[in-house]
Amino acid sequence: MTTVDLPLLPLGRGSDLSSERGVECPGDLPPASDPDLVARALAAKEKLGDKVFVLGHHYQRDEVIRFADVTGDSFKLARDAAARPDAEYIVFCGVHFMAESADILTSPEQQVILPDLAAGCSMADMARLPQVEACWDALAEAGVQDQVVPVTYMNSSADIKAFCGRNGGVVCTSSNAQTVLEWAVDQKPEAKILFLPDQHLGRNTAVLKLGYSLDDCVVWDPRLPDGGLTAEQLRDARMILWKGHCSVHGRFSPDTIDELRAEIPGIQILVHPECQHEVVLKADLVGSTEFIIKTIEEAPAGAAFAVGTELNLVKRLADRHPDKRIVFLDRTVCYCSTMNRIDLPHFVWALESLVDGVVVNRIEVDPDTEHYAKVALQRMLELPGKTHDD
């Protein structure tokens, strides 16, 4: 696993911050203008046959998602990663933390490939292991560490997942955060949760699904001494939220919701739980990307939705449902820039390299991290009852 110890890696782990592209592609990266890219991708995929299994997150570009054998949100993709144990290569069209999870959940013989190593996630980069360990020590000093169950959102690096696995904690996704948090509070008497790294998913789930008050939640800011919190605040809190957020979902604002409601009568506001609490409070429906897709699919013709999630998915939904009115919940165009790094040239380059017997951009988690991260992931995957909103 390649890691670089920097507070924020906007271009993803393993990137070279001195260059715009972030990483080098050994061999030839086809130009985006090559008119044969689609044919080349089809031909390479056909040559590889069952040896390759392509997973695609819903936020991927259309030009790439069309080649995915399976599409999904991060929960579904984590479950599906192991679905083809015979496939030698798993090409992950998504971001770095998803490819790491796929590597953890597949057999050691299977090789996971991320077509562009610069496809990171700024939210995942907001929680680094030494920062989380410092927070853990502060919880011990405040005398509450024994009560704390660490829960990390899937959108975190493998070493943060491993930290949770080592310390009795678990992973959650936007599909199952409620179930996972309910499990976590049952683990210890007077349990407190340390929720990493997305403060919004943590707050939205605690307040809207578990019935916590906003005062039950405190925010640990890793850039401030002692997280900016007193020992008393840590002792009083039920939910310690890490100060991280998604730069895409953080953009949606309550003002735009008011404007759209005035403009389009009957419009339903459908948002992802990574949005700010004020936005989620004003929304009609909240859920993961799978939930958003299903809600729109099942709505009657003529229904209108303003959707607060990544733009590639919103555009795809609008194209797929011309009988419904689907608008983006932001006035400006905003894609997830790191998801968009996986483009057709990188996809073709990764596949054609495999055809030539060369494995490029392999994502490999070291064995110790893998062991404990798997503990936390398996705890999530084995939770009984409802673990998925869709």
The contact set with ligand 13P (CB under 6 A) reads 73-75, 121, 155, 173-174, 246, 274, 288-289
Here the tokens at position 43 are: 């031909």
What does 131 interact with, of ligand SF4, ligand 13P, none (CB < 5 to 8 A by kind)?
A: none
Residue with the closest Cβ to ligand 13P?
73
According to the binding rule CB under 6 A, does residue 338 interact with ligand SF4? yes
Residue type, 233: Q
What does 74 interact with, of ligand SF4, ligand 13P, none (CB < 5 to 8 A by kind)?
A: ligand 13P
Beta carbon nearer to ligand SF4, 110 or 157: 157
Kindly provide the b/e burial profile for residues 1-35, where b requires at least 16 CB atoms within 10 angstroms of the residue's own CB: beeeeeeebbbbbbbeeeeeebbebeeebbeeeee
According to the binding rule CB under 6 A, does residue 247 interact with ligand SF4? yes
Q: Smallest gap, in angstroms, from Cβ of residue 75 to ligand SF4?
A: 13
Long-range Cβ pairs for the range 15-21 (8 Å, 24+): 15/117, 15/118, 15/120, 21/118
Beta carbon nearer to ligand SF4, 125 or 352: 125
Beta carbon nearer to ligand SF4, 80 or 352: 80
Stretch of residues binding ligand SF4 (CB under 6 A), selected from 180-188, 332-340, 360-368, 373-381:
332-340
According to the binding rule CB under 6 A, does residue 123 interact with ligand SF4? yes
What does 361 interact with, of ligand 13P, ligand SF4, none (CB < 5 to 8 A by kind)?
A: none
SS3 172: strand
Beta carbon nearer to ligand 13P, 91 or 144: 91
Closest by CA position to 114, among listed 126, 130, 128, 97:
97
Neighbour count for residue 151 (Cβ, 10 Å): 26
Here the tokens at position 257 are: 């919701």
According to the binding rule CB under 6 A, does residue 310 interact with ligand SF4? yes
Q: How far apart are CA 175 and CA 208, in angstroms?
A: 14
Q: How far apart are CA 242 and CA 364, in angstroms?
A: 26
What does 289 interact with, of ligand 13P, ligand SF4, none (CB < 5 to 8 A by kind)?
A: ligand 13P
Q: How far apart are CA 99 and CA 339, in angstroms?
A: 12
Looking at residues 23 to 42 of the shown chain, list those that interact with ligand SF4 (rule: CB under 6 A).
Answer: none
- Say which residue the tokens 């509070």 belong to: 185
Across the strands, what pairs with 170?
A: 151
Q: Smallest gap, in angstroms, from Cβ of residue 123 to ligand SF4?
A: 4
Q: Smallest gap, in angstroms, from Cβ of residue 273 to ligand SF4?
A: 11
Q: Smallest gap, in angstroms, from Cβ of residue 155 to ligand 13P?
A: 5
| Contact assessment for residue 313 and residue 305, using Cβ atoms and an 8 Å cutoff | no
Beta carbon nearer to ligand SF4, 105 or 121: 121
According to the binding rule CB under 6 A, does residue 199 interact with ligand SF4? no
Q: How many CA atoms lie within 13 A of 208 on its CB side?
A: 20
Here the tokens at position 223 are: 């850039």
What values do phi and psi take at 121, rounded to 5? -145, 120
Looking at residues 141 to 160 of the shown chain, list those that interact with ligand SF4 (rule: CB under 6 A).
Answer: 155
Using CB under 6 A, pick the residue from 180, 339, 342, 348 that binds ligand SF4.
339
Closest by CA position to 99, among listed 125, 121, 83, 84:
121
According to the binding rule CB under 6 A, does residue 248 interact with ligand SF4? yes
Q: Give the angle subtended at the CA of 377 by the CAs of 374 and 378, to the nearest 5°.
A: 80
SS3 142: coil
| Contact assessment for residue 281 and residue 234, using Cβ atoms and an 8 Å cutoff | no
Stretch of residues binding ligand SF4 (CB under 6 A), selected from 24-32, 115-123, 165-173, 217-225:
115-123
According to the binding rule CB under 6 A, does residue 73 interact with ligand SF4? no
Using CB under 6 A, pick the residue from 71, 101, 110, 122 that binds ligand SF4.
122
Here the tokens at position 276 are: 């700010």
Q: How far apart are CA 326 and CA 303, in angstroms?
A: 8
How many residues touch ligand SF4 under the rule CB under 6 A: the total is: 13
Read off the DSSP letter of residue 361.
Answer: S
Residue 369 CA from chain centroid, whole number: 19
Q: Smallest gap, in angstroms, from Cβ of residue 173 to ligand 13P?
A: 5
What does 122 interact with, of ligand SF4, ligand 13P, none (CB < 5 to 8 A by kind)?
A: ligand SF4
Residues that bind ligand SF4 (CB under 6 A): 59, 95, 121-123, 155, 246-248, 310, 336, 338-339
